[in-house]
A and B are shown apart, each in its own frame.
Chain A
């Protein structure tokens, strides 16, 4: 499991980059969902989001999941190319697989990488 240490993680498996405001889903999450075939970003640029608001919807062959904002603030950017290449969420969840950027992000209840890894291990069955 890949868990970059510069990022923060929510219990619902989103990552948040405090440096850039970027949000995505963790390696653990993409692995659990398996082959992702559809992603829809549910917020527009300039929209205000609160912690826990659904910002995206992801579907794989076998599962479907909502992605929630790990931080509050204004949506500064949306990764528009993602909907054409949903498999990016599997291949590069922390890079090209970013979903939105939240400006002035006041973080919700998030974990650091070590805590998140422990949390994920605890969930394995």
Chain B
């Protein structure tokens, strides 16, 4: 091969590299064989305490422990899916393309919206892309966003990071005002507002009907983005029915493992009229030269590789394989299985809330309806309660004091179908003895 290339040694291929920096000695551990590496990684993994084998978990706050049917991973392990690239050559990528088209359809059906894109990195970045959409829609003529303080704190942080170059005015994002509902937001919406961002159920688990807020925001000409939990949407009125313009969220609960925070799956659905301002990949139906129904990446001229600095976003990829996971999850559980999951979450969370409210010193903070997550007021700082629970092998919930200064004695508790009655009873018993 070297002879064909016309050089004597491999090193001769690198003459263009500045000599004093060429071939550095890398201080890395020596190579392991597969057998050694597998053992090493198994050691590292087992030094964690996980929520299936070691700990009872009531931790949610944006990532949820759900059962994943076996078939999901069997499909993800098909090399034809996971070792393919972005479907630039549709003739030999129809598997990926039809799977994404179906994912788009499933998500649009779930959220009650007209269109979905092929997905974003996660729920937080999908929310930031919703703000980008609003900015592009108003072409910078409206620059104010009204953000509820009960949108996930990390999502709000990501929006602030993303929008650093836009010169946005923010209102509503006041962590000391955590108890307020949607009415409090409306007074902040004016004719400079490009978008209102709310969460459903909100970060504290509360379920509000946003129809009135959306109607009022529309009267001022503003768009409304609803950040939604997909499991809750199986049971609850859809943001589409409420009139939302953009519905985004984290689809990790749909067949994606907790995986210490990622990769997850940001879903993004909207109305057809905003599709040209929406970032991200999009698959559309067409026919091929032989008359076969088939699918292609479409409206690609919106995207960075053509529109370059005028594009809404620089995003190129989607979370392809994880969109497939969500599709297989939804298909395998199907309508009835999903309803069973949602109902189990709802019933168990309410059982837990009812029982916890009976423990002396503890109470449920809010009166609003909730789905599978609620705020538990604790007699001591939540951090101390969590440490005590951890000593008993329980992950108690999310300490809200970290993000909301007036909620130091509050835990955000999540309950899913994975929590048995025994686990809930154990939590209650342990807290009784605290």
Contacts and interface: CB of A to CB of B under 8 A. Distances in A.
A and B in direct contact, judged by CB atoms within 8 A: yes
Interface of A: 37-38, 40, 42, 57, 59-64, 66
B74 to A, nearest CB: 37
Interface in B299-314: 299-302, 306-307, 310
A40 B276 contact: yes
B341 to A, nearest CB: 39
B410 to A, nearest CB: 46
B3 interface: no
B139 A59 contact: no
**Per DSSP, are chain B's interface residues mostly helix, strand or loop, or mixed?**
helix
A37 B299 contact: yes
A57 B299 CA distance: 14
A38 B300 CA distance: 11
A92 B72 CA distance: 51
Given A38-B276, A42-B139, A63 B299 contact: no
Interface of B: 139, 276, 299-302, 306-307, 310
Contacts of B276: 38, 40, 59
B139 A62 contact: no
A37 B306 CA distance: 14
Contacts of A62: 300-301, 306
**Per DSSP, are chain A's interface residues mostly helix, strand or loop, or mixed?**
strand
A66 B310 contact: yes
A66 B306 CA distance: 12
A59 B310 contact: no
Contact of B301 (A38, A40, A42): A38
A61 B286 CA distance: 13
Contacts of A57: 310
A52 to B, nearest CB: 15
Contacts of A37: 299, 301
B299 A64 contact: no
A40 B274 CA distance: 12
6 contacts: A38-B301, A40-B276, A59-B301, A59-B302, A62-B301, A64-B306
A63 B310 contact: no
Contacts of A59: 276, 299, 301-302, 307
B310 A60 contact: no
Given A38-B302, A62-B306, A64-B306, 11 more contacts: A37-B299, A37-B301, A42-B139, A59-B276, A59-B307, A60-B301, A62-B300, A63-B301, A64-B301, A64-B310, A66-B310
Nearest to A43: B139
Given A38-B276, A40-B276, A59-B276, A64 B139 contact: no
Contacts of A66: 310
